[in-house]
Amino acid sequence: MSEKISVNQPAKAPLSEKIGYGFGDMSSSMFWKIFTAYLPFFYSTIFGLSLVDATFLMLITRVWDAISDPMMGVIADRTSTKWGKYRPYLLWIAIPFAVAGVLLFTTPAMDYEGKRIWAYVTYILMMTVYTAINVPYGAMLGVMTSDSDEKTVFSSFRMFFAYAGSFIVLAGWEPLCKAFNKMQGIEGNVNDPASWQYAMIVVAICCAVLFCLTFVMTREKVKSEKKETSVVSDLGSLFRNAPWWILLGGVLFFNFFNAVRYTVGPFFFASIIGDGATLSIFSMEFIFYAGIFFAVGEVANMAGVAMTPMITRMIGKKTTFMACLILLIVLSSAFFFVPCTAAGYWVMMLLQVVISILTGIVSPLVWSMYADIADYAELKFNTASTGLIFSSSSMAQKFGGAIGGSAVTAILAAVGYSTVAGAVQTESALIWVRAIMSFVPAGVAALSLAFISIYPLTTKKMKEIQAQLEIRRAS
């Protein structure tokens, strides 16, 4: 008879800790969604950079990200304090995180070259600080519990709160900017640089407080068994980690999908939808603008996140990811053909809701799957470089955002899209704006699907890995 291995099940984390962990990504997402949805528009329309310079800015600065993300992962893995490896950074970096965000949305009184230098310096600073707090925050998922299903629950709380924060900031950003306009006596739909800076100050204060709450409400519990290794050895193990490469590719293109849609959104509404568009329901009319379009999507994202644990328990993480990507390809393509009519606006909203539910389902999977890869690395290479592995997720998020954002502005510049106030766009430029909102994301989702289809860490495989790790950790 074969011996039956009994593995002790880890205790479930309290609800308060899951909420506390969620506050961290609520903070990150409030900044990230503003960057994704409004920063290209801010640079080209308010700050005063050309579309070409805005494109190069967002693309070139990612060279530093390629270094800083894994560097931060290595540093965090080797941090040792009474609070743990990763958790202290939430407290240490919370205020620099807020300050960097405000500087990013500050328009200095300089000539064009001075402003361009300011944009590069503050953008690099913001991404560095974002890395310094977000990589350790993400890596905490690998040390808060050893149970794969519980990691998915933690990840679901994380993404639920992330989308809640995104909804608040996307729905409130334009009204907040207009409120500061009124306080300054500015009338009309004016994008005033000072008002954007004041709005970011409000958001930044909220973000700093949320990260401090995450520090207070969470704990690191899992002590992984890890031999002492050099940075070179850890990097070597990472580069030999096939599941990591596969997931990195899939996640990079998934983030590219989101970044393209959010970046082109303000341009789509400015040139395709236009001012004065409304949604009518029960004799009431609501203004149809980019902020409300994406804010409704954030609510739908939250609904998708809530479904994730149930769906993954039934069909597994990989199958769930693939099914969502297939639907995203179909629905994104359909968006191109929706007319700009009263009925068409409702169809756009319906597609946005369904697409957002699907991206909401996928988002927690990404973080949970990176945690699974950390377990796989610990078993196979005896090196629990959780921070280094999670740094790749931050890198994929930022590269996806950068490539998506810069690709959008580059295409718009190439097809002659004008950022001059009141400019009449050419028919070719308008068609390209529609295509970037539909066919381009669909193509990117197809590339993500190609990677995820060969991802090897299935539910069955992860159960085997966790059983072996429990035995090793207990010995």
Is 98 in contact with 30 (CB distance < 8 Å)?
Answer: no
| CA-closest candidate to residue 154, choices 143, 168, 164, 167 | 143
Average pLDDT taken over every residue of the chain: 87
Is the separation of the CB atoms in 333 and 439 below 8 Å? yes
**DSSP 8-state secondary structure symbol assigned to residue 456:** -
Q: Which has the closest alpha carbon to 128: 64, 74, 73, 59?
A: 64
Q: What is the 3-class SS of 251-316, one letter each residue? A: HHHHHHHHHHHHHHHHHHHHHHHCCCCEEEECCEEEECCHHHHHHHHHHHHHHHHHHHHHHHHHHC
pLDDT tier at 54, thresholds 50, 70, 90 = confident
Of the two residues 301 and 422, the one the predictor is more confident about is: 301
The pLDDT assigned to 2 comes to: 34
116 φ, ψ (degrees, to nearest 5): -65, -40
pLDDT of the residue at 6: 39
Q: What is d(CA 98, CA 250) in angstroms, rounded to the nearest whole number?
A: 31
Has this prediction a pTM greater than 0.85?
A: no
Average pLDDT over residues 325-354: 95
Exposure string for 92-121, b = 16+ CB within 10 A, e = fewer: ebbebbbebbbbbbbbeeeeeeebbebbee
Would you state the structure tokens that stand for residue 218, as one six-digit string? 């969470």
Encoded amino acid at 356, one letter: S
pLDDT tens-digit readout, 127-153: 899 999 998 998 898 889 888 778 888
Domains and CATH numbers, the chain: 15-220+231-474 (1.20.1250.20)
pLDDT grade for 116, boundaries at 50, 70 and 90:
very high
d(C-alpha 177, C-alpha 195), whole Å: 5
When pLDDT is averaged across residues 207-218 and rounded to a whole number, the result is 97
DSSP code, position 218? -
